[in-house]
Chain A
């Protein structure tokens, strides 16, 4: 089984790494990794028999071979081929999952924003890691998350102290360098936002080259009491790429978390966005936009776990499906017994532009509290012919009319993005993509 081939390769990589640790093997950090690896080797890669992977088949991924320890020579010259114009703020570059401080620019002073590598954090901030790292991710049943927890040994901790408002956003640019060969990488970042602090964060995924990249990414975001976080995940990878990523958010009392997950391109994309609302009077917003074409496959799984009373969550995901693409939306809302007075709303709207595209949607509400307001809705349909004729009757050609409607459909997710450079970049990409179809 080729499934086991990749698994065997990863296990032996892990063992080799463990053998080289010389006495550091007993740190709590490493114990977590060993536990995660045990879980991964028991779980293996999921098949479509697994309920959470019913519509997303990773067989093609595990049959490929990847170099998990590539050397990338990509420097500023190569990265200039992947511009995001007018991007301002703290810009961190990661190539194949490895943080490159020499390519990165930090604007915010060190007392307001700390960026340290994971390995530094193990020795310098063990308490912070012990408190948060891997504490809210599911390393038990989620095999890709377990694998990431076991394998990731680079990446950064982003720390924003209490009562700090960051004017400049934190932008993490994840570049997959697949010019020479298929490359597998584990991206792992931990963002800790202190009490009453405020920050805007973006993660941008891009590919350099034509080969296949397998990105297994986990980002953990801790939103402290009264803190406010805006988080944008934007993806524009090549058609050969596999992206399996989890964003795990943990929110404390009175915090605010806003996310927009925008997938423009990628061969196979699985985004998990999990929110734990573990405090009162929390506000959470989850927006998403995906516009696959060709044979692209984009799967968004979201989970909001309401654990305490008086919180509200609001979710809107929108898809435009073209070509032979497939889309998946699975939205879970849990309202625990304690979480009275919860307001939770979920909506997923899709436009199917081509007869060969398909969309699978599954809302899943599990409510144990009795005094709550919850609603969900999904729609999947074609563009409104009446609206197209109406536009044509005013002189707008059919193709333009379709584009105008699709842009309007996409607009309300993107227009809310508060990092100008990211918003403008996405607007251009969306226009280009809709224009080409």
Chain B
């Protein structure tokens, strides 16, 4: 589904991704872990197409297409969804209106007619229930005045509505208490299927108790320095990142 090869990206003069290789097959859940500043969130942003980052080298293939050639909205229409670490507040635009516009733009991209209003409302009610989000909240300006938990649930709700092929979760667990975390994880698990994949970016192992990954990768200084299964996450929880940093720094020194 997704194949990242030797991906390099930078912000202004600072190189943040320094050769990422990762392949995600349909139905798989990959967790990306790593210390602060390792490039985890950058990877998610680059995949979603944020303009602040410049890709200097490498390729990303998504469902047979060159992802890096596509505008962010085209990536979304092709099936990529980024759940933001810091969802943006948009005054004056209700979640309902926003999602209707999004769904219709994606339908337009695929040459389909706009969604029937009744069908849209029905879909919305059903999905809102699954992430325990209040109907009234969706009639308010997008994320404006929402609590941290409400914002994150709204992200998962939007993902449920847009039914992407690949969900990118950027530190969705940050700032959530255990109850909110469980609701968010349940929402994600409900969306798991044989042909939908996820990349879960997280600093802590905690989220992975609820969203159990098939693979865990550790990102450090812009590279994946270790990959394993869910046991790797447990090991990181127990031992911290220092031993991995030391290993990686030693390996880099010996190459140099």
Interface residues of A (CB under 8 A from B): 384-387, 389-398, 400, 404-405, 407-409, 411-412
Contacts and interface: CB of A to CB of B under 8 A. Distances in A.
A394 B102 contact: yes
B101 A400 contact: yes
Contacts of B76: 392-395
Given A390-B90, A392-B71, A409-B92, A400 B48 contact: no
Interface stretch (B28-36, B80-88, B182-190, B226-234): B80-88
Contacts of A400: 101, 105
A161 to B, nearest CB: 40
B93 A392 contact: no
Interface string B97-123: 011011101100100000000000000
A396 B93 contact: no
Interface residues of B, number: 31
Contacts of A397: 71, 73, 105
A408 B93 CA distance: 6
Contacts of B91: 408-409
A61 to B, nearest CB: 36
A404 B93 CA distance: 8
Contacts of A391: 90, 98, 102
Contacts of B90: 387, 390-391, 405, 408
Contacts of A385: 51
6 contacts: A392-B73, A393-B49, A395-B77, A398-B71, A404-B101, A412-B92
Chain A binding surface, main DSSP class? helix
The 7 tightest CB contacts between A and B, nearest first, are: A408-B92, A392-B72, A395-B76, A394-B102, A395-B106, A390-B88, A392-B73
B41 interface: no
B132 to A, nearest CB: 21
A394 B88 contact: no
Contacts, number: 74
B210 to A, nearest CB: 24
B92 A393 contact: no
B158 interface: yes
B162 interface: yes
A396 B87 contact: no
Given A392-B49, A393-B49, A404-B93, A398 B73 contact: yes
Contacts of B50: 389
A393 B93 contact: no
Contact of B92 (A390, A395, A411): A411
Nearest to B80: A393
Interface in B24-64: 48-51
Given A408-B90, A408-B92, A393 B105 contact: no
Contacts of A384: 88
B93 A405 contact: yes
A395 B82 CA distance: 11
B254 to A, nearest CB: 40
Contacts of A411: 92
Nearest to A415: B92
Given A405-B93, A408-B92, A411-B92, A390 B87 contact: yes
A394 B158 contact: yes
B81 to A, nearest CB: 8
Contacts of B109: 395
- Among A394, A405, A408, A411, find the residue whose CB has the most chain B CB atoms closer than 10 A: A394
A393 B98 contact: no
